Structure 1
Amino acid sequence: MLEKLETIKNRWEEIAEQMSDPAAMADMKRFVKLNKDYKELEPVVKAYKEYKNLLGNIQNAKEILANEKDPEFREMAKEELEELQPKLKEMEEEIRLLLIPKDPEDSKNAVMEIRAGTGGDEASIFAGDLFRMYQKYCESRGWKVDVVEMNEGTAGGFKAIVFNVIGEGAYGTLKFESGVHRVQRVPKTETQGRIHTSAASVVVLPEADEFDVELNEKDIRKDTYCSSGPGGQSVNTTYSAIRLTHIPTGIVVTCQDEKSQIKNLAKAMKVLRTRLYEREYNKYLEEMSSKRKTMVSTGDRSAKIRTYNWPQGRVTDHRIGLTLYNLQSIIDGDIQELIDKLQMAENAERLKEEFE
């Protein structure tokens, strides 16, 4: 482990040198990459220094026990050793987790899409419940939720909604939410009190930045139109809404959330970049999903990942066999325990891969 940590420290110092090179500063794409690598390695280097210091203290205590005749000194060294040995095990476990190769996308903002599935109006209402759940969770983390596109359901909720989540590590936290979410409850539209099962699909993608995807303006057709609200009611009379069509792939993105055409265009471009980036990123996700059950839903979006059962007040995550009986607080945005357990399961699997 020490040899591996020493190599990482040398690499970190090498990156620091490269970042101070005027040639690296002139190449913005390279500088951004170096800065990102530097920040990612920093916690490992800090842990390495603490670990090395701890090993040194343990070695000193052992030498005192081996060579010192004074009983008082020996007793002090023995007490110190008893205190330091458990810390060593804890630190080694922490370092093992730090040494797991990170998904380079984890630190990015996220683009989320929720679509009503089977279940008609009830599926749209449930899609609305999921959106509010994520919105409240993001608020609790201090992240910004920025709606890009929405198609409201006839009885409430959404047939589809696309939104950006802007915050450090948003994608790495929310990526486990991709997949099919099922709801079992008596719909508001049900007159005989029967329990129905409906579904909504969630897709979570890392927001692609300008360095991830190169867009040629000639490949994009831009259309403008008047924003409209529910029932076709005109929201404004200016042509502020934007529709972008990527001609080579046929991908279409619309945005009418902002009153400014410039702001709508910026939002739509972000989503278009992400949709194009998704094509390449999916290959990586498929590879990961074959290895890890926690990520299966991200690679296979038809996978049923979670059930929200109203009569029993329970939420079950099928990937890790976890059932929690606090449905109302979860639907009110308290999903941290679910995310923590999924991250722990993924870390365990990644540790197994790394150290087998």
Structure 2
Amino acid sequence: MLEERPGFIVFRATGVEAARVFQHEPGGHRWQRVPPNEKRGRVHTSTVTVAVLQEPEDSALVIPPSELEWRTSRGSGPGGQHRNKTESAVVLTHLSSGLTVRCESERSQHRNRDTALRVLRARLLQARQEGSARAANAERRSQVGSGQRGDKVRTVRCQDGLVTDHRLGRKLPLDAYLRGDWTALLGA
């Protein structure tokens, strides 16, 4: 369990069969039951939305040297003759993204090159993380849907003791479903 708060649960499933077991879970699940204190036998319906996301791989940000363009120039600002006569400022351009970093904070060109490369890596990593976060949010939204009745993928009917998977067109006994024995739904 990674996170749990009222109405929201995040957990991690690992193992060889995890992807196969959870492949049909994304979407809306309708839960129908007759509560024990219901005197007239009315069915209460709840909806649960489920999203299944792949965990991203950890990889270091490696920038091939062929994607970098280095230029040097004279620094600007205070510093006297040394600053105005030596090319210590560095302009680094990442060719594939067009991102440019200018660094002239140090008197040494070598230190400015190191700083510019660190800043460029940080900006590229931030852009990559923002892009992957947008993609993950879009994938989650597409899986969850609106949570309305028409979005349901599974109906759990406690009073009948049946679970119906609407995408697969299969039924399963409720007690097997609650035990986690989904082999009938998965066709195994």
TM bin (shorter chain): 0.5 to 0.7
Amino acid at match of 1:301: V
1:148 to 2:2 alignment: yes
Matched letter for residue 177 of structure 2: I
Match of 1:278 in 2: 136
Q: Hey, what does 2:42 align to over in structure 1?
A: 194
- The 1:276/1:195 distance shift into structure 2, 3 A limit, reads same
Alpha-carbon distance in structure 1 between the residues aligned to 2:184 and 2:143: 23
**How far did residue 169 of structure 1 move?**
4.4
Distance 2:8 2:154 in 1: 19
Does the 8 Å CA contact 1:184/1:307 hold for their aligned counterparts? yes
Separation in structure 1 between the aligned mates of residue 61 and residue 165 of structure 2, nearest angstrom: 34
CA distance in 2, matches of 1:191, 1:201: 29
TM-score scaled by structure 2? Answer: 0.52
SS at match of 1:164: coil
Residues 86-141 of structure 1, C-alpha deviations (whole Å, 9 max, x = no match): xxxxxxxxxxxxxxxxxxxxxxxxxxxxxxxxxxxxxxxxxxxxxxxxxxxxxxxx
Equivalent residue pairs, number: 123
Deviation for aligned residue 1:213: 9.0
Who is 1:313 aligned against? 161
- Whole-Å separation in 2 of the counterparts to 1:315 and 1:301: 19
1:165 aligns with 2:13: yes
- SS of corresponding position for 1:330: helix
Q: Alpha carbons of 1:200 and 1:212: their partners in 2 closer, same or farther (altered >3 Å)? A: farther
For 1:105-184, list aligned pairs within 5 A: 147-152=1-6, 159-184=7-32
- 1:329 matched to 2:176? The reply is yes
CA 1:189–1:335: 2 relative to 1, 3 Å: same
How far apart are the structure 1 equivalents of 2:29 and 2:55? 22
Report the secondary structure of 1:323's partner residue.
strand
Structure 1 residue 188: Cα displacement: 4.8
Rate the CA distance shift 1:206–1:200 in 2: closer, same or farther, 3 A: same
CA distance in 1, matches of 2:16, 2:153: 25
Q: 1:190 to 1:212 in 2, by over 3 A?
A: farther
> Cα–Cα, structure 1 residues 204 and 212, in superposed 2: closer, same or farther, change >3 Å?
farther
Task: Spell out, residue by residue over 1:189-238, the C-alpha distance to the aligned partner (whole angstroms, 9 max, x if none).
Answer: 6454321111111111111111399995985xxxxxxxxxxxxxxxxxxx
Q: Residues 51-66 of structure 1: matches in 2 within 5 Å?
A: none
* TM-score, structure 1 as length reference: 0.30
Distance 1:310 1:210, change over 3 A: same
Q: Partner residue of 1:301? A: 144
Identity across matched positions, percent: 32
Question: How much has 1:327 moved relative to structure 2?
Answer: 0.8
Residues 1:172 and 1:335: Cα distance change in structure 2 (over 3 Å): closer
Q: Please give the alpha-carbon distance, in whole angstroms, between the structure 2 residues aligned to 1:327 and 1:212.
A: 46
Equivalent residues in 2 for 1:18-97, closer than 5 Å: none
Larger Rg: 2
Structure 2 unaligned regions, length at least 5: 63-120, 146-150
The change in CA–CA distance for 1:310 and 1:319 in structure 2 (over 3 A counts) is: same
Q: Distance in 2 between the 1:212 and 1:206 partners? A: 19
Greater RCO, 1 or 2 (C-alpha within 8 Å, sep 6+): 2
- In proportion to residue count, which structure has more helix? 1
Query: SS of 1:176's equivalent?
Result: coil
Residue 204 of structure 1 aligns to a residue whose secondary structure is coil
**1:176 CA drift (Å):** 1.1
* Alpha-carbon shift at residue 320 of structure 1 (Å): 2.3
1:211 aligns with 2:54: no
Deviation at 1:276, TM superposition (A): 5.3
SS of structure 2 residue aligned to 1:210: coil
Distance 1:172 1:334, change over 3 A: closer
What is the root-mean-square deviation of aligned Cα atoms in Å? 3.6
* Runs of 4+ that moved beyond 3 A: 188-193, 211-219
